[in-house]
Amino acid sequence: MLEHSTRAWGSPSRYIQGRFELNNIREYTEIYGRRVFFLIDVFFFKSLKEKFAAIYAGSDSTILCEQFGGQCTAAEIDRCTEVARAIQPDVVVGIGGGKTMDTAKGVADQFGAATVIVPTTASTDAPAMGLSVIYTEEGEHIGARHYKKNPDLVLLDTEILTKAPIRFFVAGMGDALSTFVECRANRQSSSPNYVNKGYAMTIAGWAVCEACHKTVLQKGVNAKIAAENGLVTKDVEDVIEANTLLSGLGVQNTSCAGSHSIAEGITILPPCAKLLHGEVVAFGVLVQLIVEGAPKAEIDEMYDFFNAVGLPTTFADLGIPEVTDEEIMKVAECSMHSYWDVEPFTVNPQMVFDGIKMADVLGRLKK
């Protein structure tokens, strides 16, 4: 619990979202400088390198495109920094998934350059954050690197995001739905947010989380149907904003709680480690609500939504139909290392164990 009432807010400097906005990239990078380093996911590298060569042709900008190596390690940040050194970039643009974006943030920090983040899926809240999650070569999570600023610009081209496999979009809704539920726990316990060393949440922080929740629940089902058909409706745009901007602002300004604790704990089971972040977080939302004793109507609403969009509600959905009580207790114990301590009451492993099992029981009943 915080021992002061100082409140604080953190966010990226600019956020721009629209269809075909990547075509305007030159206009955006020119705001920050003329030496531009692009770090691009393997899947998009060839096509975007050609596209940017055409976009910047005849301009006074110098651009350099590099393909991301696949893992956000300290060594990969160093490697990309050495490549970028050739042009001493004013602007570093990271285009791809969370690991590409996080590596680009690390490179930009080395040069004190402006950071432009262009996510290619609407699956996480990572783009807006001023930190990188660092892994080992083997993919083991070893901690976060915090930077003195959030990205200068988060640029979303909704045409690209809608072309990504639908599973990413749905997972993003799972991550987004944890935002308000976790924010509420933090508010009830007066816990610190993730702005610098941690402060009380602002009214803005609370309002963003409420808007995130409402948007996903009201628009998520139709947004998924539209996106599956390659359509960029207003519902799709709204849910993309909720998954990326609202969810990202929410987590930084109001913090995680039980949902993300389950997401981190459950990855000790190998099949769950292969799921998308938002998918395991979604199951964590169900567990958190049950552990908190949330009203039945709220729990029912969440199950109905998950069933409608295809987020996991049972052990079978998570790929662990044969999971044992011993393994569930291990997950519960492991989840205690995360954020359960911000709940407004003391949580112990037995409560979490019961919550996990009950989430599966309800999930099977409601299928």
Residue whose CB is less far from Zn ion, 143 or 321: 143
The nearest distance, CB 255 to Zn ion, in angstroms, is: 11
The nearest distance, CB 251 to Zn ion, in angstroms, is: 6
The nearest distance, CB 98 to Zn ion, in angstroms, is: 10
For 134, phi and psi rounded to 5 degrees? -100, 140
Size of the site for Zn ion (CB under 5 A): 1
Tokens of 163: 């072309």
The nearest distance, CB 31 to Zn ion, in angstroms, is: 29
Residue whose CB is less far from Zn ion, 251 or 362: 251
- Contacting Zn ion within 116-175 (CB under 5 A): 175
Residue whose CB is less far from Zn ion, 89 or 192: 192
The nearest distance, CB 24 to Zn ion, in angstroms, is: 29
Residue whose CB is less far from Zn ion, 124 or 162: 124
182 binds Zn ion (CB under 5 A): no
- Contacting Zn ion within 194-223 (CB under 5 A): none
Site string for Zn ion, 220-259 (x = CB under 5 A): ----------------------------------------
Residue whose CB is less far from Zn ion, 22 or 176: 176
Residue whose CB is less far from Zn ion, 35 or 260: 260
Tokens of 202: 């602002």
The nearest distance, CB 294 to Zn ion, in angstroms, is: 20
Residue whose CB is less far from Zn ion, 114 or 170: 170
Residue with the CB atom nearest Zn ion in the bound state: 175
Residue whose CB is less far from Zn ion, 49 or 167: 167
The nearest distance, CB 114 to Zn ion, in angstroms, is: 25
- Cβ(90)–Cβ(33) below 8 Å: yes
The nearest distance, CB 9 to Zn ion, in angstroms, is: 19
Q: What does the binding site for Zn ion look like in residue numbers (CB under 5 A)? A: 175
